Structure 1
Amino acid sequence: MNHTPRRRTAALAVASAISLLTLSSPTAGAQAPTVAAAAPDVPVANVQAHLQKLQDIATANNGNRRAGSAGYTASTSYVKSTLEAAGYTVTLQRCTTCDYPSDNVVADWPGGDASKTYMFGAHLDSVSAGPGINDNGSGSAILLENALQLAKANPTLTGHVRFAWWTDEEQGLNGSAHYVKSLTSAQRGQIKAYYNFDMVASTNGGYFINHITTAAAAPMKAYWDSLGLQPEENVEGAGRSDDYSFENYGIPTSGYAMGASARKTSAQASKWGGTAGSAYDPCYHSACDKYPSNINVTGLDRSADGLAYTIWHTAVDGGGTTPVGGPLANGGFESGATAWTGSVSRITNSTGRPAHTGSWKLWLGSHGTTTSEEVSQSFAVPADAASPTLTYWIRIDTAESGSTVYDKATVQVNGTTKHSYSNASTPKSTWSQKTIDLSAYKGTTITLRLAATEDSSLQTSFVIDDVATSF
């Protein structure tokens, strides 16, 4: 990842890119495409093998893979030859305006609607101080293995898939900026979304998504939500990696990251593990950014699989007909915290407030002090559901009086508030059933979030039970 946030587009010469957008027919002898019902589980061992290769290249070339260096040239040769052997049409685009003139590697998988092109990219160069294995061998490696897995599965495509490995990112996003500027307006218009992968295996990392609330980010968030990771917006990386080059031309973007030199907060350490107050990547832009010592294999695996899900969701399923994850689980809370994440201690069989049925329920609030609590769960909404709905029961008990709002509760789907309540809501001290229409989410995985906040005095209890779906 580039150290300095970008604030403007660098002045670049306009070059022809028609060859980068020309789609060739499948190579002779290629297998007939078949429909793949679900994204593959990307073998993390294969991703690690690519990282070892990049480490070997750096070791043989003065310890780095900086753009324009022998280490970078060897890296591009490895990526290009691996892709061509798998059946990709690969173009080396020379960036003559880069600080270190060198090549972008652009690879197209034959087939799919070119007017609906989805791009997936990562920068291939390192800084001169080290081999750049997390920054950004990690993004480059999951991209390469996903390209190979797509070729192996050879599914029928509804969109076109293009992968890119950028040069000169560390000098100011120059390779990707050169590529996007070299396209015509019509060619840019064909790119429906660009997904970036930069530092996806930080050893003290978190789970960050670029533009997490956008439509482009939805499949990426859905996959990590299905793992209960509670991802956050990639604030540190804003404007500092190659997605910014596409944003400058109005192309929707998203991507995964696990963090660079910023420090992990106590709240993040509580939910993700690791060390609060320490950098996400203690070897950021340093000689110790090596394989295997500076790779979080779990994060690498989760990033690789989330990338696969996003490719299938956008270009194979054509918008997400194959949701990840299973159905809503333990909606009546009778199995305690099972399937829920967050403030799970608030799932209780305490007799202080009644359950709607059984003994267990979710009891938010009731403290009479400044608090914030939430639980969440991700589950799939089938694509063929006729009238998908979610129902739940809620009871509100409060020591507050009057119509002034002090304490609040919300029911959210994918970050959007569907229902809201407060100490002033009616009815009180009685159960009421509520319904949410899930028709807009068919064929996707959604995250249900039940949350409450209280102010500094007088309690309000928000008790929720018997959450259920109907498909």
Structure 2
Amino acid sequence: MRSRTLAAVGAAALAMAGLLPGAAASAAPASAARPAARPAPPAATLAAPTIPLANVKAHLAQLQSIATANGGTRAHGRPGYRASLDYVKGKLDAAGYQTTIQQFTSNGATGYNLIADWPGGDTNNVLMTGAHLDSVTAGPGINDNGSGSAANLEVALAVARERYQPSRHLRFGWWGAEELGLVGSTYYVNNLAATERSKIKSYLNFDMVGSPNPGYFAYDGDGSSGSGGPAGSAEIERVLRAYFASINVPVQDTAFDGRSDYGPFIRYGIAAGGLFTGAEDRKTTAQAQLWGGQANVAFDRCYHASCDTSSNINDTALDRNDQAIANAVWTLAGGGQDPGGETVYSDDLETDTGWTANPDGTDTATTGRFERGTPQPTTYSGTALQLAAAGGSNSLVTGASAGTDAGTNDLDGGTTSIRSAPITLPAGTKTLSFSWYLAHLDNSGNTDYLRVRVVGTSGTTTVLNQTGAASVRAGAWQTQTADISAYAGQSVRILVDAADAGTGSLVEAGLDTIKITK
């Protein structure tokens, strides 16, 4: 998030740089009409999925590693910024997004925006979600704004995992050179053809959502504190506040004062909203009583400083905000249908449905055997190895306990397996889906693995076979889908096995949220 000084002079500086038309420096162009407020979404809107905090933290760890490898910063014009953009783009490309890198020049250096479109939906009715990806030169910018960038990335990846197809078109943006005065987002909005700009009906902005002494603020869309946004902004604020009300967290207004990347959008009358956990301002005594934390201390004492590292994050605030972002996207996207069809079997592992460990009596692992349990998150030097469940409390996990160190209850000594009770598949059964992760350190190798198989009367099909490698792999929940229509009408079992084979290595694995549809 840019400083208050930049907020005061940013528009003028951009006009001088040629990135803003003079008439737009302080107000919307005369030709820019406000779009009509979008109708409320239908009652059948699908619920947002759980956004795993461990995944968001894994993205932050990557951004921290990128900064560390590039002089401690991810600022505009520095190699750390482009490496950050390439990391985000790689994740989105692999998930099926249509990505575009937009190039601009500012302060004598080349800058980049990343735009990602999720295929489908009404392209004349775009819901866009954005965050700036750059840091200041002084530090790695993990709260400002790795937090918003990582949360938006994981929500985008959740859209892909869920194969979500809402009625509105979804677009995500990661902006460059925000810290120099909203340069990237301004360049994007100003350089859209008027017809394309008019298709963006709503813009959600998330800048600093994990402040270490957090407050909970929503942009004042309805003008109740005197600074409302364009038509439609009140609905965005209502949706954001509704999520926090559902978890009994009070929310206060923060003004549309031009400090972040919503500014170029509201200048053109595009409805906007977003969340914020506080920057250099001090938390008041009343706010500390409301939210906890320290009174008379900045919401973020490391704002724009070298100490804005991966340790400068409040996990509770980050988790609440990433889930609020997902809720807003799913609510405002205009409904949608479950692409998985009719569910014929599901198991969230919260109750015992008959999974049997070591079903054939052949397991050789000495520790970290598969069990259905509540996993205790485990890390090693900042790398997530064992993750909390993808949804609810329980998952299938290799040794649920954390132990005294990362290697105490990891998978060791060979193979471990666990098998479901028989599952009767009706005619028309088509798809198996589940969440999974495999994590390891660089002492792993390709003889280590996580494997999932479907075993039926007509044979066995391997639907996941993920091997290890001699590199660090942080745990991150992913979704696997497989066509199992060949087993329709049969009774099958799901067999999960993992191995720490060859030389001993630090390996963890998990499985969750299993679903079969027709």
TM-score, shorter chain, exceeding 0.5:
yes
- Structure 2: distance between partners of 1:116 and 1:6: 32
- Structure 1: distance between partners of 2:78 and 2:257: 27
Aligned to 1:247, which of 256, 266, 273? 266
Verify: 1:233 aligned to 2:235, yes or no: no
Aligned to 1:390: none
Q: Secondary structure at the match of 2:265?
A: helix
Distance of aligned partners of 1:13 and 1:278 in 2 relative to their CA distance in 1, 3 Å threshold: closer
Cα distance, 1:101 vs structure 2: 1.9
Verify: 1:43 aligned to 2:52, yes or no: yes
Conserved 8 A contact 1:36-1:153: no
Cα distance, 1:238 vs structure 2: 2.3
Aligned to 1:70: 79
Aligned to 2:240: 220
Q: Secondary structure at the match of 1:95?
A: strand
Conserved 8 A contact 1:211-1:253: no
Aligned to 1:156, which of 139, 143, 165? 165
Conserved 8 A contact 1:91-1:106: yes
Aligned residue identity for 2:135: S
Cα distance, 1:314 vs structure 2: 1.1
Structure 1 gaps, min length 5: 16-34, 319-471
Aligned-residue identity in percent: 48
Aligned to 1:145, which of 142, 149, 154? 154
Conserved 8 A contact 2:149-2:174: yes
Conserved 8 A contact 1:155-1:316: no
Verify: 1:58 aligned to 2:67, yes or no: yes
Conserved 8 A contact 2:221-2:272: no
Aligned residue identity for 1:304: D
Conserved 8 A contact 1:264-1:278: yes
Conserved 8 A contact 2:285-2:295: yes
Aligned to 1:299: 317
Cα distance, 1:185 vs structure 2: 1.5
Please report the TM-score for the alignment, with normalisation by the length of structure 2.
0.56
Cα distance, 1:6 vs structure 2: 4.4
Conserved 8 A contact 1:98-1:174: no
Cα distance, 1:129 vs structure 2: 0.4
Q: Secondary structure at the match of 1:122?
A: strand
- Structure 2: distance between partners of 1:174 and 1:269: 34
Cα distance, 1:100 vs structure 2: 3.3
For residues 55-454 of structure 1, the aligned pairs below 5 Å read: 55-97=64-106, 100-213=109-222, 214-235=234-255, 238-291=257-310, 293-317=311-335
Conserved 8 A contact 1:100-1:168: no
Conserved 8 A contact 2:19-2:183: no
Cα distance, 1:98 vs structure 2: 5.8
Conserved 8 A contact 1:209-1:234: yes
- Structure 1: distance between partners of 2:61 and 2:200: 32
- Structure 2: distance between partners of 1:246 and 1:294: 29
Aligned residue identity for 2:251: P
Structure 2 gaps, min length 5: 22-43, 223-233, 337-518
State the number of aligned residues: 297
- Structure 2: distance between partners of 1:6 and 1:46: 36
Deviation string 1:389-447 (CA, Å, 9 cap, x unpaired) is: xxxxxxxxxxxxxxxxxxxxxxxxxxxxxxxxxxxxxxxxxxxxxxxxxxxxxxxxxxx
Aligned residue identity for 2:93: E
Conserved 8 A contact 2:116-2:172: yes
Cα distance, 1:63 vs structure 2: 0.3
Aligned to 1:5, which of 3, 7, 22? 7
Aligned to 1:361: none
Conserved 8 A contact 1:98-1:175: no
Q: Secondary structure at the match of 2:122?
A: coil
- Structure 2: distance between partners of 1:36 and 1:129: 43
- Structure 2: distance between partners of 1:200 and 1:302: 9
Conserved 8 A contact 1:158-1:316: yes
Deviation string 1:41-69 (CA, Å, 9 cap, x unpaired) is: 10000000000000000000000000111
- Structure 2: distance between partners of 1:100 and 1:228: 45
Which is further off, 119-128 or 212-221?
A: 212-221
Q: Secondary structure at the match of 2:333?
A: helix
Cα distance, 1:39 vs structure 2: 0.4
Aligned to 1:326: none
Distance of aligned partners of 1:190 and 1:266 in 2 relative to their CA distance in 1, 3 Å threshold: same
Conserved 8 A contact 1:212-1:232: no
Aligned residue identity for 1:224: F
Aligned residue identity for 1:66: A
- Structure 2: distance between partners of 1:100 and 1:135: 21
Conserved 8 A contact 1:92-1:103: yes
Aligned residue identity for 2:248: G
Distance of aligned partners of 1:212 and 1:276 in 2 relative to their CA distance in 1, 3 Å threshold: farther
Cα distance, 1:13 vs structure 2: 5.0
Q: Secondary structure at the match of 1:127?
A: coil
Aligned to 2:26: none
Aligned residue identity for 1:157: P
Conserved 8 A contact 1:203-1:295: yes
Aligned residue identity for 1:289: D
RMSD between aligned residues? 1.8
